[in-house]
Copies of this chain bind each other. A is one copy, B any other.
Amino acid sequence: MVTIADVAKAAGVSPSTVSYALSGKRRVSAETRRRVERSVLELGYHPNAGARALAGKRSHILALAVPLRTDVYVPIMMEIATSVAVAARKHGYDVLLITNDEGPDGIRRLAASGLADGVILMDVELDDKRIPTLGDLRTQAALIGLPDDPRGLSCVDHDFSAAGALCADHLADLGHRDIAFIGYGSGIYRRHAGYAERTLAGFRARAKERGLRFLHRPCEGTYEGIAGTLGRILSDRPHTTGFVVQNEGAIGPLLSLLRTSGRTVPEDASVIALCPDHLAEQHAPALTAVTGPAKELGRIAVEQVMSRISASTRGEQPTDELVLLTPTLTVRESTGPVPEHSLI
């Protein structure tokens, strides 16, 4: 193993000079810096992480708490996780994976052992049990997702309320009057997942403003689930011409079933999805969709913890941030003007 002493010897300087040359925390002459950097490269020196953490009081590691659930759309979770890792690297940080099955204790352990300088919580629920734990520890944290009470925390999330409103507006603009909102399985609403509730609230409010009638139907993402739900929607409100879908698993079956029931999209029925663009484009017809920038979520969460960490290092009080990212509507082939005559 090559240590800082080896580099120092090779460069003909003292260990502390090597340390400063690498950290930049003290001015070093251009000449010595060059020699140090050369030796570092030649010897393939990498500072020992343990020693660095012990002496420097910073592990340069961020903990990322990922959900173990399968009822959320996993690819997005993965995308966020990797964007966190990439963003962290830009700050010289590595990312430690922590699963929810350890619960709050895992976070406590990482914080108390000094393994992680900060924590990023994904898939935060409105009333998340992990949040109180964060208060006890002096670990810095950022949440992806919006809790009931974000005081004392930094959070970033999509503006799901705005996303819901965008859907209502788009359908209203096209002249639709009877809308069905097909949501996630009822378990998600029972769990008070913020994104589901806020989307619905945003949609509901705007729908009211625009004079839309609508049904909200939670729905499992299975073929049978959608079949039953759609059947009931069409019998309860036969004049429904607009569908908002916030349930990745429901999209495919819904399109199939509409076709089967003799409805052509978008001529007879319009479908607008709340889902990533790559999914929207995978279907036929390609779906008009409302999307938020998933990668930004990770990047911003990292910025937030990093800024909190450096504030607390300077002995300052970290400032709480709340960032909501504006979603965008992309019009594709699945939405169109309301039909003149309804089918039934």
The docked-state distance in angstroms from the alpha carbon of A321 to that of B47 is 32
Chain B neighbourhood of A101, CB < 8 A: 86
Contact with B along A204-229 (1 / 0, CB 8 A): 00000000000000000111100100
The docked-state distance in angstroms from the alpha carbon of A1 to that of B114 is 9
Judged by a CB distance under 8 angstroms, whether A48 is at the interface is yes
Residues A309-341 near B (CB distance < 8 A):
none
Q: Write the chain B residue with the least CB distance to A84.
A: B97
Segment at the B interface, from A74-82, A158-166, A174-182, A232-240? A74-82
Chain B neighbourhood of A98, CB < 8 A: 85, 94
Q: Write the chain B residue with the least CB distance to A74.
A: B75
Task: Say whether B282 contacts A222, CB under 8 Å.
Answer: yes
Judged by a CB distance under 8 angstroms, whether A144 is at the interface is no
Which of A46, A109, A249: most chain B CB closer than 10 A?
A: A46
Question: Measured between C-beta atoms, what is the minimum distance from A187 to chain B in Å?
Answer: 15
Judged by a CB distance under 8 angstroms, whether A28 is at the interface is no
Total copies of the chain: 2
Q: Write the chain B residue with the least CB distance to A68.
A: B82
Question: Measured between C-beta atoms, what is the minimum distance from A171 to chain B in Å?
Answer: 23
Task: Say whether A115 contacts B96, CB under 8 Å.
Answer: no
Task: Say whether A96 contacts B95, CB under 8 Å.
Answer: yes
The docked-state distance in angstroms from the alpha carbon of A289 to that of B217 is 31
Task: Say whether B284 contacts A64, CB under 8 Å.
Answer: no
The docked-state distance in angstroms from the alpha carbon of A163 to that of B255 is 31
Chain B neighbourhood of A29, CB < 8 A: none
Residues A16-53 near B (CB distance < 8 A):
44-53
Given contacts A89-B102, A97-B95, A97-B96, contact A66 B50 (CB under 8 A): no
Judged by a CB distance under 8 angstroms, whether A13 is at the interface is no
Interchain residue pairs with CB less than 8 A apart (30): A45-B112, A48-B114, A49-B50, A49-B53, A49-B59, A49-B113, A49-B114, A49-B115, A50-B50, A50-B51, A50-B54, A50-B114, A66-B82, A74-B75, A74-B78, A78-B78, A82-B97, A82-B99, A85-B98, A85-B99, A94-B98, A94-B110, A94-B115, A96-B97, A97-B97, A224-B284, A227-B284, A249-B282, A253-B284, A256-B256
